[in-house]
Structure 1
Amino acid sequence: MKLLNVSYMKKGRMIGFFDKFPHSKVLFSRVKKYYFVSTVYWDERDQVVTRADLEKMELLLNNYFGTEAYYKNRKAMSD
């Protein structure tokens, strides 16, 4: 999966577009120093989004913004 484009929104949110889901938009919110998926505006023309897909999307977006280290060091990864 590849990150195709990022669109900035108000209040630190981002919308990401991915090649695996070309018709769906993914809304990211910022928590501390990294981004996570808050909403997927899924389109029926795309395949179903799995938890593994969500994690890959979060990793790609955080890598794009240089916050990958913070994302990998979050509490959920430690458990």
Structure 2
Amino acid sequence: MELLNVSYMKKGRIIGFFDKFPHSNVLFSRVKKYYFVSTVYWDERDEVVTRADLKKMELLLNSYFGTESNYKNRKAWSE
């Protein structure tokens, strides 16, 4: 999966576009110093989004913005 593009919204939220889900948009919100998936605007033309897909999306977006180390240092990170 690859991050194709990002779009900025109000209040620090970001919409991400991914090649694996071309018809679905993913809304990210910022928590402290990293981003997490807030909402997936899923389209029936795409496959079902799994928990592993959500984690990969978060990792890709945080890597894009340079906040990957903050994302991995959070309490819930287990890898």
Q: Same fold (TM over 0.5)?
A: yes
Ranges in structure 2 where 5+ consecutive residues have no aligned partner: none
Counterpart in the other structure of 1:71: 71
Query: How large is the RMSD of aligned CA atoms in angstroms?
Result: 0.7
2:43 aligns with 43
Look up the SS of the partner of 1:53 in the other structure.
Answer: helix
Matched, 1:27 2:27: yes
How far did residue 77 of structure 1 move? 1.2
- TM-score (norm. length: structure 1): 0.97
CA offset at residue 66 of structure 1?
Answer: 0.1
Q: TM-score, normalised on structure 2? A: 0.97
Structure with greater helix percent: 1
Once the 2 structures are TM-superposed, how far is the Cα of residue 69 of structure 1 from its aligned partner?
Answer: 0.1
Identity, in percent, stands at: 88
Report the secondary structure of 1:76's partner residue: coil
